[in-house]
Amino acid sequence: MSRTDDWLDAPHDPRDPNPWLALYLDASGPLADEVKRAWLCDAASRSRQFVLPVVRPLARIAIVLIQLLKMALPRGLTSSRWLHRTIVWGMTRFVRPEANWLILRHFHLGSQVLAFIGRNALPGHALPSHPLSPPDIAALRDDVFLQHDLNLFNFVIELNRALGGQPIVPPATPDFSMIRQPDVRLADMPDRWTNVIDLQTAIELYTPVYQLFLTDNDFWRATNSLQLDEVIAIYAATLLQRPDYLVFLNNKHPLVPLTTLRAGFRLVLHGLSTEMLHALLSRARDVQMSAAVEGAAA
C-alpha cells in the first residue's frame, strides 16, 4: 500500500516492540483494515516524526499573527476561490497518498452520516441538504471545505427545528441504505516523489492558510464546527440505542469552544471521529443485514 508500512511485515522483537504494529493489531476499535493501515502508515511517516514538531509551533504563531492582521483588515485577502485552489495545489504536489485519500473520504463519510441521522430521526421529512461526494482532489476546488462546515451547522439547525424540541425517537428498523464505502481509491492518489507530507503536518500548514483566505467570522465558525463531533455522535448513538459508541467519539463539551490555536490537532480528531462513526454505522448495517438473512432462511 505505501512506502512506510515495512513495520507491518517486520519480525516482532519483544525487546523492541513496534508501536505501530501494536495499534494495527489492536481490534478494540471499529476501523476497517484498509483505513487503519492507511492511517497508521501516514502516522508512521518521517514527515510526522521530524517535520510536524517544527511546523506545529510555527503554524500556531502564524495563526496569532493573522488574527492581528484580520483585526486591522477584516476583509483583506479573503477569497474562498484562492483558498481552495491553494489547498488542491498543495495536496496534489506535496501530500502523501494516504493523507489525500483520508481527506477525500472524509467528505463522503460526513455526508453519509448526516443523511443517516436525518432520514432516521425524521422519517418522511426531507431536510435541506448539500451532500458532498468529490470524486477526486480537483473537485475540492468547488468550495468543498467551506461547504462542509456550513453543512454541519445547517444540519443541526434544520434537524432541531423540525424536531420542535422533542427528543429523537429511535426507529424500530434503522435505514442504512446511504451507508457505503466511498468510490475513491488510494491507488488513484498522486504519488510523486514530492508527495511526502503527512496528514497532521498538512492540516497544521493549511490551518493558517484557511484563516488567511477566510473572513474572521468564517474561520471561527469553521473551528467551532469541530465542537459538533460529539453532538452528531449523540444523535447517531440515540438512533442505534448504543450509548457505548460515544467512547470513540468524544471531543469534550460542545458548549465550551476552544481557541483557534489547536484547530489543526482538533481537525485531525474530527477526521478520525468521522471514520469511527461511519465504521460503527457500517458494522450496525452488517448486523442488521445478517439478521435479515437468517430470519429469511428460518
298 falls within a domain: no
132 falls within a domain: yes
Count the domains in the chain: 1
pLDDT at residue 190 tops 50:
yes
78 falls within a domain: yes
The model's pTM = 0.94
Task: Look up the domain containing 131 and give its range.
Answer: 31-293
d(CA 268, CA 277): 14
d(CA 94, CA 199): 11
| 79-126 pLDDT, tens digit each | 999 999 999 999 999 999 999 999 999 999 999 999 999 999 999 888
* Element of type H or E holding 211: helix 199-213
157 falls within a domain: yes
Contacts of 20 (CB under 8 A, 6+ apart): 7, 8, 40, 43, 44
Of the listed ranges 144-148, 155-159, 238-242, 252-256, the one predicted with least confidence: 252-256
Residue 140 backbone phi and psi in degrees, to 5:
-70, -15
21 falls within a domain: no
Instruction: Say what the pLDDT of residue 204 is.
Output: 95
d(CA 208, CA 65): 9
20 falls within a domain: no
d(CA 90, CA 141): 12
